Structure formats: C-alpha cells, structure tokens
Amino acid sequence: MAPTIQHPGPAAAAQANTHEELDSILRERIMVLDGGMGTMIQQHNLSEESFRGQEFVDHSKPLKGNNDLLSVTQPDIIYKIHKEYLLCGADIVETNTFSSTSIAQADYGLEHMAYRLNKVSAEVARRAANDVTSETGIKRYVAGAMGPTNKTLSVSPSVERPDYRNITFDELVDAYAEQARGLLDGGADILLVETIFDTANAKVSETFM
C-alpha cells in the first residue's frame, strides 16, 4: 500500500486556502515561476569545503556538486537566490530539492538526510517568500521541487539485460513520499514534479498526490 501523506487540522485548512488563492489568481493571469537554481549556484564558485560546511567536514565522500546540501551548509546563499528571483517578479520559487530523495542522495552517502534536506530547503524558500511578501505587499508562494531521481523504471541501465531494473515502483513511492513529507512540513504550498523523463516514474507521484 502506498504511504499516505496527511496534514490534518489547521495545516490542512491553510493548504486548502492556498490552493483556492492560486486557483483564483490563475483564472486572472499567468503566474511566473523562478529560473534555474543550479546556474545561480555555479556563479558562487563554491569549493568542496563550502559544500561540506562545519557539519560534514569529515564526511567520507566528496560533496561538491551536491547543490541540495547547500540548503543546510550555506542557507544564506540559497535564501539570496530565492529572494533575487522573487524581487525580479517571480510569483513562485521552487525549493532547492531537485535531487533530495534518498535515492539520489545515496550517491553522496547522504540518503539518511532526505527528509531533513527537503524540510530545511522548504523553510529557506518559505522565509524568502514571506519576506518578499512583507516587503512588496504581493503574496509569493513556494513550490516543493521533486526531480526525476537517477533511477528509471522504464529503461534498463544495462544494455546486456534489457529486462533488468535497478529500482522498484514501491522503492520510488517511499522515496517520493518521504520527500513530499519534508517539503510540506517545511512550508511548501504546492508540490512540483519536474523534469521527469520516465512516465513510469511520474506515475509514482500519483499514488500519494
């Protein structure tokens, strides 16, 4: 059975109100999403040490390039990027969580960080959105970004074994559900399943949306 993501009480009511707000706005005009996060991060030319921060100084694997980790180790940079997009006119910012599933983070030995990465990233984006809302008087929103992972259900990673799959449907469900919980607990208004090239992977999100 697929895991259920429940947010009862005031949180559920607030989420319902947000959906009504977004629906009302979209009936009147086009809403603008932010731009790329990775390209903005690259402009900072961060070192391995910057990615590690204090918490991961002794981590056994290289962490440079794990952009999602920067929400924990360099939150001010991520906050600044979000705020720049919002001040340029974006209505919605996407969380810095493109690779924040336990599946994708396993490459860095950080699969245990998945929930925390998503929650912290959503909190950083939420803070930026709230600050710009206060400064401009125009409400801004947070989309919890859920990327494709580095595994695919439809295509074998082995040319010699076209029947082989290195991930199961249920494993993907568990990983996406954990990500969604972190994003919602951190304050995301909506969940954005993005850049998924495998329709079988995309169907996973339907099990708990």
- The answer to whether the pTM exceeds 0.85 is yes
Sheet holding 190-193, edge to edge: 92-94, 141-146, 190-193
Contact (Cβ atoms closer than 8 angstroms) between residue 69 and residue 56: yes
Question: What integer pLDDT is reported at residue 132 of this predicted model?
Answer: 99
Which token pair is 185? 């607990």
Q: At 199, which helix (H) or strand (E)?
A: helix 199-205
Point out the residues of the chain with pLDDT beneath 50: 1-4, 9
Nearest CA to 69 among 117, 6, 9?
117
Q: Side-chain half-sphere of 209: how many Cα atoms within 13 Å?
A: 11
Question: What integer pLDDT is reported at residue 161 of this predicted model?
Answer: 85
Which token pair is 18? 């947000």
Question: What integer pLDDT is reported at residue 209 of this predicted model?
Answer: 62
CATH number of 32-205: 3.20.20.330
> Residue 43: exposed, middle, or buried by beta-carbon count in 10 A (0-12, 13-18, 19+)?
exposed
Question: How is the chain split into domains, by residue range?
Answer: 32-205
Contact (Cβ atoms closer than 8 angstroms) between residue 147 and residue 104: yes
- Which residues are 49's β-sheet partners? none
Question: What integer pLDDT is reported at residue 208 of this predicted model?
Answer: 63
